[in-house]
Structure 1
Protein backbone atom coordinates (compact mmCIF):
# COMPACT_ATOMS: atom_id res chain seq x y z
CA UNK A 1 0.00 0.00 0.00
CA UNK A 2 1.47 3.36 -1.07
CA UNK A 3 1.57 6.48 1.13
CA UNK A 4 -1.40 8.15 -0.59
CA UNK A 5 -3.64 5.10 -0.29
CA UNK A 6 -2.68 4.69 3.35
CA UNK A 7 -3.45 8.34 4.12
CA UNK A 8 -6.71 8.35 2.17
CA UNK A 9 -8.07 5.23 3.79
CA UNK A 10 -7.15 6.36 7.30
CA UNK A 11 -8.64 9.78 6.67
CA UNK A 12 -11.94 8.36 5.46
CA UNK A 13 -12.04 6.03 8.47
CA UNK A 14 -11.60 9.07 10.74
CA UNK A 15 -14.78 10.65 9.30
CA UNK A 16 -16.95 7.73 10.47
CA UNK A 17 -19.16 7.96 7.40
CA UNK A 18 -22.29 5.79 7.56
CA UNK A 19 -21.95 2.33 6.09
CA UNK A 20 -23.05 2.07 2.48
CA UNK A 21 -22.06 5.51 1.18
CA UNK A 22 -18.79 4.18 -0.25
CA UNK A 23 -18.08 0.88 -1.98
CA UNK A 24 -15.94 -1.56 -0.01
CA UNK A 25 -13.41 -2.10 -2.81
CA UNK A 26 -12.44 -1.12 -6.35
CA UNK A 27 -10.86 2.19 -5.33
CA UNK A 28 -7.97 3.67 -7.35
CA UNK A 29 -4.81 5.54 -6.42
CA UNK A 30 -3.50 8.16 -8.86
CA UNK A 31 -0.16 8.86 -7.22
CA UNK A 32 2.91 8.79 -9.48
CA UNK A 33 4.01 5.41 -8.18
CA UNK A 34 0.68 3.70 -8.81
CA UNK A 35 -0.16 5.29 -12.17
CA UNK A 36 3.24 4.30 -13.54
CA UNK A 37 2.06 0.75 -12.95
CA UNK A 38 -1.45 0.77 -14.47
CA UNK A 39 -1.46 3.91 -16.65
CA UNK A 40 -3.84 6.87 -17.01
CA UNK A 41 -6.21 5.91 -19.81
CA UNK A 42 -9.64 7.55 -19.93
CA UNK A 43 -8.63 11.05 -18.88
CA UNK A 44 -7.56 14.25 -20.62
CA UNK A 45 -4.88 16.56 -19.21
CA UNK A 46 -7.45 18.91 -17.68
CA UNK A 47 -9.34 16.22 -15.76
CA UNK A 48 -6.64 13.72 -14.91
CA UNK A 49 -6.69 13.17 -11.09
CA UNK A 50 -2.91 13.23 -10.55
CA UNK A 51 -2.06 12.72 -6.86
CA UNK A 52 -5.71 12.18 -5.91
CA UNK A 53 -7.11 8.99 -4.42
CA UNK A 54 -10.42 7.81 -5.89
CA UNK A 55 -13.11 6.10 -3.81
CA UNK A 56 -16.02 4.39 -5.53
CA UNK A 57 -19.41 5.43 -4.17
CA UNK A 58 -22.77 3.72 -4.21
CA UNK A 59 -24.21 5.67 -7.12
CA UNK A 60 -27.73 7.09 -6.79
CA UNK A 61 -29.06 6.36 -10.29
CA UNK A 62 -32.08 8.47 -11.35
CA UNK A 63 -35.31 6.59 -12.15
CA UNK A 64 -35.41 5.28 -15.68
CA UNK A 65 -31.61 5.41 -16.07
CA UNK A 66 -28.87 2.83 -15.67
CA UNK A 67 -25.35 3.28 -14.37
CA UNK A 68 -23.97 1.99 -17.66
CA UNK A 69 -25.93 4.61 -19.62
CA UNK A 70 -24.80 7.42 -17.34
CA UNK A 71 -21.15 6.30 -17.44
CA UNK A 72 -21.10 6.03 -21.23
CA UNK A 73 -23.23 8.96 -22.37
CA UNK A 74 -23.25 11.64 -19.65
CA UNK A 75 -20.44 14.21 -19.46
CA UNK A 76 -17.61 13.83 -16.94
CA UNK A 77 -17.08 16.73 -14.54
CA UNK A 78 -16.11 17.54 -10.94
CA UNK A 79 -17.40 19.40 -7.91
CA UNK A 80 -15.07 20.59 -5.16
CA UNK A 81 -16.52 20.70 -1.66
CA UNK A 82 -15.45 20.84 1.98
CA UNK A 83 -14.98 17.93 4.35
CA UNK A 84 -17.77 19.11 6.67
CA UNK A 85 -20.31 18.83 3.84
CA UNK A 86 -19.18 15.46 2.58
CA UNK A 87 -21.60 13.17 4.42
CA UNK A 88 -24.62 15.27 3.51
CA UNK A 89 -23.61 15.44 -0.15
CA UNK A 90 -23.02 11.70 -0.36
CA UNK A 91 -26.38 11.03 1.30
CA UNK A 92 -28.54 13.47 -0.67
CA UNK A 93 -26.55 14.43 -3.76
CA UNK A 94 -25.68 17.96 -4.81
CA UNK A 95 -28.21 20.62 -3.93
CA UNK A 96 -29.00 24.18 -4.96
CA UNK A 97 -28.30 27.23 -2.74
CA UNK A 98 -31.45 27.97 -0.77
CA UNK A 99 -32.20 24.29 -0.13
CA UNK A 100 -31.18 22.48 3.07
CA UNK A 101 -28.61 19.76 3.67
CA UNK A 102 -29.07 16.43 5.46
CA UNK A 103 -28.93 18.16 8.85
CA UNK A 104 -31.47 20.83 7.96
CA UNK A 105 -28.85 23.56 7.53
CA UNK A 106 -29.44 26.06 4.70
CA UNK A 107 -27.09 25.80 1.72
CA UNK A 108 -25.63 29.09 0.50
CA UNK A 109 -23.15 30.22 -2.14
CA UNK A 110 -19.50 29.84 -1.19
CA UNK A 111 -17.62 32.87 0.12
CA UNK A 112 -16.20 34.67 -2.90
CA UNK A 113 -18.86 33.33 -5.26
CA UNK A 114 -20.42 36.02 -7.43
CA UNK A 115 -23.91 37.09 -6.41
CA UNK A 116 -26.79 38.31 -8.54
CA UNK A 117 -25.86 41.89 -7.70
CA UNK A 118 -22.31 41.63 -9.04
CA UNK A 119 -22.54 38.84 -11.60
CA UNK A 120 -23.32 38.95 -15.31
CA UNK A 121 -26.74 40.55 -16.01
CA UNK A 122 -29.54 38.03 -15.64
CA UNK A 123 -27.27 35.23 -14.42
CA UNK A 124 -28.98 32.94 -11.89
CA UNK A 125 -26.59 31.87 -9.12
CA UNK A 126 -29.10 29.44 -7.59
CA UNK A 127 -27.73 26.49 -9.50
CA UNK A 128 -25.51 23.43 -9.06
CA UNK A 129 -22.03 24.24 -10.36
CA UNK A 130 -19.51 21.72 -11.68
CA UNK A 131 -16.46 21.94 -13.91
CA UNK A 132 -14.90 19.73 -16.57
CA UNK A 133 -11.53 20.63 -15.02
CA UNK A 134 -10.43 18.88 -11.83
CA UNK A 135 -7.61 21.41 -11.59
CA UNK A 136 -10.29 24.12 -11.25
CA UNK A 137 -12.79 22.21 -9.08
CA UNK A 138 -9.95 21.00 -6.88
CA UNK A 139 -8.61 24.50 -6.27
CA UNK A 140 -8.88 25.98 -2.79
CA UNK A 141 -11.79 28.16 -3.93
CA UNK A 142 -14.04 25.10 -4.14
CA UNK A 143 -12.27 22.17 -2.47
CA UNK A 144 -11.64 24.09 0.72
CA UNK A 145 -8.73 22.48 2.63
CA UNK A 146 -8.63 21.47 6.25
CA UNK A 147 -5.89 19.96 8.37
CA UNK A 148 -5.56 16.28 9.07
CA UNK A 149 -2.89 14.82 11.36
CA UNK A 150 -1.81 11.26 10.64
CA UNK A 151 -1.89 9.29 13.88
CA UNK A 152 0.58 6.82 12.40
CA UNK A 153 3.31 9.29 11.36
CA UNK A 154 2.37 12.41 13.33
CA UNK A 155 2.63 14.46 10.14
CA UNK A 156 -0.04 17.09 9.50
CA UNK A 157 -1.48 17.47 6.00
CA UNK A 158 -3.88 19.75 4.20
CA UNK A 159 -6.62 17.53 2.82
CA UNK A 160 -9.06 18.41 0.05
CA UNK A 161 -12.07 16.52 -1.27
CA UNK A 162 -13.83 16.68 -4.63
CA UNK A 163 -16.57 14.66 -6.28
CA UNK A 164 -16.40 12.96 -9.63
CA UNK A 165 -19.71 13.66 -11.33
CA UNK A 166 -21.65 12.83 -14.48
CA UNK A 167 -24.02 15.47 -15.84
CA UNK A 168 -26.68 14.93 -18.49
CA UNK A 169 -25.87 16.53 -21.86
CA UNK A 170 -28.29 19.31 -22.70
CA UNK A 171 -29.28 19.84 -19.05
CA UNK A 172 -26.63 22.45 -18.24
CA UNK A 173 -25.33 25.81 -19.39
CA UNK A 174 -21.67 26.71 -19.92
CA UNK A 175 -19.98 29.82 -18.55
CA UNK A 176 -16.75 31.29 -17.29
CA UNK A 177 -15.80 31.24 -13.61
CA UNK A 178 -18.32 32.39 -11.02
CA UNK A 179 -15.69 32.84 -8.30
CA UNK A 180 -14.88 36.54 -7.86
CA UNK A 181 -11.10 36.14 -8.02
CA UNK A 182 -11.21 34.17 -11.27
CA UNK A 183 -14.09 36.20 -12.69
CA UNK A 184 -12.55 39.60 -11.96
CA UNK A 185 -9.09 38.90 -13.29
CA UNK A 186 -10.10 36.52 -16.07
CA UNK A 187 -7.30 34.10 -15.33
CA UNK A 188 -6.58 31.36 -17.81
CA UNK A 189 -7.39 27.89 -16.55
CA UNK A 190 -4.73 25.31 -17.18
CA UNK A 191 -5.76 22.86 -19.88
CA UNK A 192 -9.29 24.16 -20.52
CA UNK A 193 -10.84 27.31 -22.11
CA UNK A 194 -11.60 29.80 -19.34
CA UNK A 195 -14.91 30.83 -20.93
CA UNK A 196 -16.23 27.27 -20.61
CA UNK A 197 -14.76 26.39 -17.21
CA UNK A 198 -18.05 26.10 -15.31
CA UNK A 199 -21.17 24.11 -16.11
CA UNK A 200 -24.34 24.68 -14.11
CA UNK A 201 -27.87 23.33 -13.88
CA UNK A 202 -31.06 23.70 -11.87
CA UNK A 203 -32.00 20.05 -12.52
CA UNK A 204 -30.71 18.02 -9.58
CA UNK A 205 -31.68 14.72 -11.21
CA UNK A 206 -29.32 15.52 -14.10
CA UNK A 207 -26.26 15.44 -11.80
CA UNK A 208 -25.00 12.08 -10.49
CA UNK A 209 -22.05 11.60 -8.13
CA UNK A 210 -19.93 8.66 -9.25
CA UNK A 211 -16.86 8.94 -7.02
CA UNK A 212 -15.02 10.71 -4.22
CA UNK A 213 -11.53 12.13 -4.69
CA UNK A 214 -9.15 12.95 -1.82
CA UNK A 215 -5.82 14.81 -2.01
CA UNK A 216 -3.13 15.61 0.58
CA UNK A 217 -0.39 18.24 0.82
CA UNK A 218 2.08 18.77 3.63
CA UNK A 219 0.88 21.40 6.10
CA UNK A 220 3.20 24.41 6.52
CA UNK A 221 0.88 27.22 7.68
CA UNK A 222 -1.65 28.03 10.38
CA UNK A 223 -5.27 29.09 10.63
CA UNK A 224 -7.07 26.10 9.12
CA UNK A 225 -9.18 23.74 11.22
CA UNK A 226 -7.30 20.65 12.38
CA UNK A 227 -8.76 17.20 12.91
CA UNK A 228 -6.73 14.97 15.17
Structure 2
Protein backbone atom coordinates (compact mmCIF):
# COMPACT_ATOMS: atom_id res chain seq x y z
CA UNK A 1 0.00 0.00 0.00
CA UNK A 2 1.30 3.49 -0.83
CA UNK A 3 2.23 5.97 1.90
CA UNK A 4 -0.80 8.12 1.07
CA UNK A 5 -3.13 5.19 1.63
CA UNK A 6 -1.70 3.98 4.93
CA UNK A 7 -3.91 4.11 8.01
CA UNK A 8 -2.63 5.35 11.35
CA UNK A 9 -4.23 4.74 14.74
CA UNK A 10 -3.92 7.76 16.98
CA UNK A 11 -5.82 8.71 20.11
CA UNK A 12 -8.55 6.16 19.58
CA UNK A 13 -9.37 6.76 15.93
CA UNK A 14 -8.08 5.84 12.49
CA UNK A 15 -6.48 8.62 10.48
CA UNK A 16 -5.69 8.46 6.77
CA UNK A 17 -2.08 9.36 6.11
CA UNK A 18 -0.84 12.06 3.76
CA UNK A 19 2.32 11.88 1.65
CA UNK A 20 5.46 12.92 3.47
CA UNK A 21 3.89 13.08 6.93
CA UNK A 22 4.28 11.08 10.11
CA UNK A 23 1.59 10.77 12.75
CA UNK A 24 1.31 10.47 16.51
CA UNK A 25 0.45 7.00 17.79
CA UNK A 26 1.16 7.53 21.50
CA UNK A 27 -1.26 8.19 24.33
CA UNK A 28 1.11 10.52 26.23
CA UNK A 29 -0.62 13.62 27.59
CA UNK A 30 -0.29 16.46 25.08
CA UNK A 31 0.93 18.91 27.73
CA UNK A 32 3.49 16.47 29.19
CA UNK A 33 4.89 15.56 25.77
CA UNK A 34 5.25 19.20 24.70
CA UNK A 35 7.14 20.06 27.90
CA UNK A 36 9.53 17.16 27.29
CA UNK A 37 10.23 18.24 23.72
CA UNK A 38 10.57 21.91 24.60
CA UNK A 39 13.29 21.22 27.18
CA UNK A 40 15.50 19.93 24.37
CA UNK A 41 14.93 22.78 21.91
CA UNK A 42 15.15 26.12 23.76
CA UNK A 43 17.15 28.71 21.83
CA UNK A 44 19.39 26.17 20.13
CA UNK A 45 19.23 27.76 16.71
CA UNK A 46 19.82 31.21 15.26
CA UNK A 47 16.28 31.31 13.85
CA UNK A 48 14.71 31.05 17.30
CA UNK A 49 17.15 33.61 18.70
CA UNK A 50 16.15 35.99 15.89
CA UNK A 51 12.46 35.40 16.61
CA UNK A 52 13.17 36.05 20.30
CA UNK A 53 14.73 39.40 19.43
CA UNK A 54 11.57 40.35 17.55
CA UNK A 55 9.42 39.17 20.47
CA UNK A 56 11.45 41.38 22.80
CA UNK A 57 10.65 44.38 20.58
CA UNK A 58 6.92 43.98 21.31
CA UNK A 59 7.21 45.38 24.84
CA UNK A 60 5.57 42.45 26.61
CA UNK A 61 6.22 41.79 30.29
CA UNK A 62 8.51 38.82 30.95
CA UNK A 63 6.09 37.35 33.49
CA UNK A 64 3.50 36.51 30.80
CA UNK A 65 5.82 33.87 29.30
CA UNK A 66 6.50 30.26 30.26
CA UNK A 67 9.93 29.51 28.69
CA UNK A 68 9.85 25.82 29.63
CA UNK A 69 7.36 25.26 26.79
CA UNK A 70 9.02 27.37 24.10
CA UNK A 71 9.38 25.44 20.86
CA UNK A 72 11.09 26.14 17.55
CA UNK A 73 9.46 24.62 14.48
CA UNK A 74 12.14 25.63 11.97
CA UNK A 75 13.24 22.80 9.62
CA UNK A 76 16.51 22.08 11.44
CA UNK A 77 14.97 21.93 14.94
CA UNK A 78 12.04 19.85 13.71
CA UNK A 79 14.38 17.37 12.05
CA UNK A 80 16.70 17.21 15.06
CA UNK A 81 13.77 16.28 17.32
CA UNK A 82 12.64 13.66 14.80
CA UNK A 83 9.19 14.99 15.50
CA UNK A 84 6.08 13.99 13.62
CA UNK A 85 3.99 16.50 11.66
CA UNK A 86 0.38 15.61 12.42
CA UNK A 87 -1.12 14.85 15.82
CA UNK A 88 -4.64 14.20 17.05
CA UNK A 89 -5.75 16.61 19.77
CA UNK A 90 -8.92 17.11 21.80
CA UNK A 91 -12.01 15.10 22.64
CA UNK A 92 -13.35 14.30 20.14
CA UNK A 93 -9.92 14.38 18.45
CA UNK A 94 -9.17 16.58 15.47
CA UNK A 95 -6.00 16.75 13.37
CA UNK A 96 -3.36 19.18 14.59
CA UNK A 97 -0.67 20.02 12.04
CA UNK A 98 2.49 21.49 13.55
CA UNK A 99 3.16 25.16 12.63
CA UNK A 100 6.34 24.32 10.73
CA UNK A 101 8.49 27.35 9.95
CA UNK A 102 7.32 29.22 13.07
CA UNK A 103 8.80 29.67 16.54
CA UNK A 104 6.58 29.46 19.62
CA UNK A 105 7.03 31.48 22.80
CA UNK A 106 4.80 29.88 25.39
CA UNK A 107 2.40 31.95 27.47
CA UNK A 108 1.45 31.24 31.04
CA UNK A 109 -1.99 29.65 31.16
CA UNK A 110 -4.69 30.27 31.75
CA UNK A 111 -5.04 33.96 31.03
CA UNK A 112 -7.69 35.51 33.33
CA UNK A 113 -10.75 35.21 31.07
CA UNK A 114 -10.54 31.45 30.42
CA UNK A 115 -13.14 29.19 32.00
CA UNK A 116 -11.30 25.91 32.55
CA UNK A 117 -12.91 22.47 32.85
CA UNK A 118 -12.76 20.38 35.99
CA UNK A 119 -9.15 19.25 36.22
CA UNK A 120 -7.75 22.65 35.25
CA UNK A 121 -5.09 23.32 32.64
CA UNK A 122 -4.02 19.70 32.16
CA UNK A 123 -7.63 18.66 31.51
CA UNK A 124 -7.98 21.47 28.96
CA UNK A 125 -4.82 20.36 27.15
CA UNK A 126 -6.12 16.81 26.97
CA UNK A 127 -9.70 17.58 25.89
CA UNK A 128 -9.75 20.95 24.09
CA UNK A 129 -8.95 21.14 20.38
CA UNK A 130 -6.03 22.98 18.82
CA UNK A 131 -6.48 26.19 16.84
CA UNK A 132 -4.65 29.30 15.64
CA UNK A 133 -5.44 33.01 15.44
CA UNK A 134 -3.42 35.21 13.11
CA UNK A 135 -2.99 38.83 14.15
CA UNK A 136 -1.05 42.00 13.45
CA UNK A 137 2.16 42.89 15.22
CA UNK A 138 0.52 45.90 16.91
CA UNK A 139 -2.32 43.73 18.26
CA UNK A 140 -0.13 41.21 20.09
CA UNK A 141 0.47 43.30 23.20
CA UNK A 142 -3.17 44.48 23.61
CA UNK A 143 -4.44 40.89 23.25
CA UNK A 144 -2.06 39.58 25.91
CA UNK A 145 -2.66 42.51 28.27
CA UNK A 146 -6.44 42.19 27.85
CA UNK A 147 -6.28 38.52 28.79
CA UNK A 148 -7.23 36.84 25.52
CA UNK A 149 -9.11 37.20 22.26
CA UNK A 150 -12.09 39.54 21.94
CA UNK A 151 -14.97 40.11 19.53
CA UNK A 152 -15.13 43.14 17.22
CA UNK A 153 -16.52 46.07 19.17
CA UNK A 154 -15.13 44.84 22.50
CA UNK A 155 -12.77 47.01 24.50
CA UNK A 156 -9.13 45.97 24.50
CA UNK A 157 -6.04 47.51 26.02
CA UNK A 158 -5.58 50.83 24.24
CA UNK A 159 -8.92 51.01 22.39
CA UNK A 160 -11.77 49.14 20.73
CA UNK A 161 -11.34 46.09 18.51
CA UNK A 162 -12.35 46.89 14.93
CA UNK A 163 -13.11 44.71 11.91
CA UNK A 164 -10.40 44.54 9.27
CA UNK A 165 -10.85 44.47 5.52
CA UNK A 166 -10.10 41.31 3.58
CA UNK A 167 -12.75 39.10 5.15
CA UNK A 168 -16.40 39.31 6.18
CA UNK A 169 -17.38 42.52 7.97
CA UNK A 170 -20.58 44.48 8.45
CA UNK A 171 -20.29 45.99 4.94
CA UNK A 172 -19.47 42.73 3.14
CA UNK A 173 -21.00 39.47 4.35
CA UNK A 174 -23.74 36.95 3.53
CA UNK A 175 -27.19 37.93 4.73
CA UNK A 176 -27.68 37.02 8.37
CA UNK A 177 -24.00 36.24 9.03
CA UNK A 178 -22.81 37.34 12.48
CA UNK A 179 -19.38 38.98 12.24
CA UNK A 180 -19.28 39.92 15.94
CA UNK A 181 -17.55 36.69 16.93
CA UNK A 182 -14.03 35.44 17.59
CA UNK A 183 -12.61 33.63 14.56
CA UNK A 184 -9.90 30.97 14.77
CA UNK A 185 -8.77 28.17 12.49
CA UNK A 186 -7.29 24.68 12.85
CA UNK A 187 -4.90 25.67 10.04
CA UNK A 188 -1.82 27.84 10.53
CA UNK A 189 -1.69 28.27 6.75
CA UNK A 190 -5.10 29.90 6.82
CA UNK A 191 -4.41 31.93 9.97
CA UNK A 192 -1.27 33.41 8.40
CA UNK A 193 -3.12 34.82 5.38
CA UNK A 194 -2.62 38.57 4.92
CA UNK A 195 -6.18 39.37 6.02
CA UNK A 196 -5.29 38.05 9.48
CA UNK A 197 -1.50 38.20 9.83
CA UNK A 198 -0.17 40.86 7.49
CA UNK A 199 3.65 40.83 7.32
CA UNK A 200 5.51 43.51 9.27
CA UNK A 201 8.86 44.83 8.01
CA UNK A 202 11.49 44.65 10.74
CA UNK A 203 15.21 45.42 10.89
CA UNK A 204 17.23 43.03 13.02
CA UNK A 205 20.23 44.26 15.00
CA UNK A 206 22.42 42.83 12.22
CA UNK A 207 20.89 45.35 9.81
CA UNK A 208 19.10 42.64 7.82
CA UNK A 209 15.48 43.40 6.87
CA UNK A 210 12.82 40.75 7.46
CA UNK A 211 9.10 40.15 6.94
CA UNK A 212 7.52 39.01 10.19
CA UNK A 213 4.13 37.41 10.81
CA UNK A 214 2.54 36.79 14.19
CA UNK A 215 -0.19 34.46 15.43
CA UNK A 216 -1.44 32.81 18.59
CA UNK A 217 -1.58 29.09 19.27
CA UNK A 218 -4.60 28.18 21.36
CA UNK A 219 -6.97 25.52 22.64
CA UNK A 220 -10.71 25.84 22.13
CA UNK A 221 -13.42 24.12 24.15
CA UNK A 222 -15.30 21.41 22.20
CA UNK A 223 -18.91 22.30 21.53
CA UNK A 224 -18.35 26.04 22.00
CA UNK A 225 -17.80 26.94 18.35
CA UNK A 226 -19.29 26.60 14.87
CA UNK A 227 -17.38 25.19 11.91
CA UNK A 228 -17.72 27.00 8.61
CA UNK A 229 -16.10 27.92 5.30
CA UNK A 230 -13.50 30.59 4.69
CA UNK A 231 -14.64 34.18 5.16
CA UNK A 232 -11.79 35.67 3.12
CA UNK A 233 -12.48 37.81 0.06
CA UNK A 234 -9.98 36.50 -2.45
CA UNK A 235 -10.09 32.70 -2.36
CA UNK A 236 -10.65 30.98 -5.69
CA UNK A 237 -13.11 28.12 -5.79
CA UNK A 238 -10.34 25.78 -6.96
CA UNK A 239 -7.82 26.97 -4.34
CA UNK A 240 -7.20 24.43 -1.57
CA UNK A 241 -5.79 26.43 1.36
CA UNK A 242 -4.80 23.54 3.62
CA UNK A 243 -3.97 19.91 2.72
CA UNK A 244 -5.77 18.54 5.80
CA UNK A 245 -8.78 20.80 6.31
CA UNK A 246 -11.19 21.53 3.47
CA UNK A 247 -12.15 25.12 2.69
CA UNK A 248 -15.67 24.53 4.01
CA UNK A 249 -14.38 23.62 7.51
CA UNK A 250 -11.37 25.89 7.87
CA UNK A 251 -12.91 28.74 9.89
CA UNK A 252 -14.16 28.22 13.45
CA UNK A 253 -16.20 30.95 15.16
CA UNK A 254 -17.51 31.48 18.67
CA UNK A 255 -19.11 34.17 20.81
CA UNK A 256 -17.64 32.56 23.94
CA UNK A 257 -14.38 34.40 24.60
CA UNK A 258 -13.85 32.28 27.73
CA UNK A 259 -13.71 29.12 25.58
CA UNK A 260 -10.33 29.95 24.01
CA UNK A 261 -7.10 29.39 25.93
CA UNK A 262 -4.10 31.15 24.40
CA UNK A 263 -0.89 29.34 25.26
CA UNK A 264 1.67 30.37 22.66
CA UNK A 265 2.81 33.41 20.67
CA UNK A 266 3.95 32.27 17.22
CA UNK A 267 6.45 34.25 15.15
CA UNK A 268 7.57 33.57 11.58
CA UNK A 269 10.46 35.49 10.02
CA UNK A 270 11.51 35.54 6.36
CA UNK A 271 14.16 37.70 4.65
CA UNK A 272 12.84 40.57 2.57
CA UNK A 273 13.34 39.83 -1.11
Q: Same fold (TM over 0.5)?
A: yes
Q: Which residue of 2 aligns with 1:147?
A: 201
- Following superposition, the deviation at residue 63 of structure 1 comes to 4.3
Structure 1 stretches lacking a partner, 5+ long? 221-228
Query: Does the 8 Å contact 1:127/1:200 carry over to 2?
Result: yes
Kindly tell me: are residues 109 and 40 of structure 1, through their superposed partners in 2, closer, same or farther at Cα, counting changes over 3 Å? farther
- Following superposition, the deviation at residue 46 of structure 1 comes to 6.9
- Following superposition, the deviation at residue 111 of structure 1 comes to 1.3
Q: Which residue of 1 aligns with 2:188?
A: 134
Query: Does the 8 Å contact 1:28/1:54 carry over to 2?
Result: yes
Among residues 161, 177, 184, which one is paired with 2:230 in the alignment? 177
Q: CA RMSD in A?
A: 1.9
Partner SS, residue 181 of structure 1: coil
Query: Does the 8 Å contact 1:5/1:53 carry over to 2?
Result: yes
Segments of 4+ in structure 1 off by > 6 A?
Answer: none
Q: TM-score, normalised by structure 1?
A: 0.88
Structure 2 stretches lacking a partner, 5+ long? 1-43, 88-94
- Measured against aligned partners, the alpha-carbon deviations of 1:26-56 in whole angstroms (never above 9, x if no partner) come to 3111111111111333735873211100111
**Highest CA radius of gyration, 1 or 2?**
2
Q: TM-score, normalised by structure 2?
A: 0.74
Within 5 A, what are the aligned runs for 1:64-213? Answer: 64-65=116-117, 66-91=120-145, 92-103=147-158, 105-151=159-205, 153-182=206-235, 185=237, 187-191=239-243, 192-213=245-266
Q: Which residue of 2 aligns with 1:218?
A: 271
Equivalents in 2 of 1:46, 1:138: separation in Å?
A: 16
Query: Does the 8 Å contact 1:174/1:196 carry over to 2?
Result: yes
Q: Which moved more, 1:157-166 or 1:62-71?
A: 62-71
Kindly tell me: are residues 205 and 186 of structure 1, through their superposed partners in 2, closer, same or farther at Cα, counting changes over 3 Å? farther
**Larger RCO of the pair (alpha carbons < 8 Å, separation 6+):** 1
- Measured against aligned partners, the alpha-carbon deviations of 1:98-120 in whole angstroms (never above 9, x if no partner) come to 111111x1111121221245322
Equivalents in 1 of 2:173, 2:239: separation in Å?
A: 16
Q: Which moved more, 1:116-125 or 1:88-97?
A: 116-125
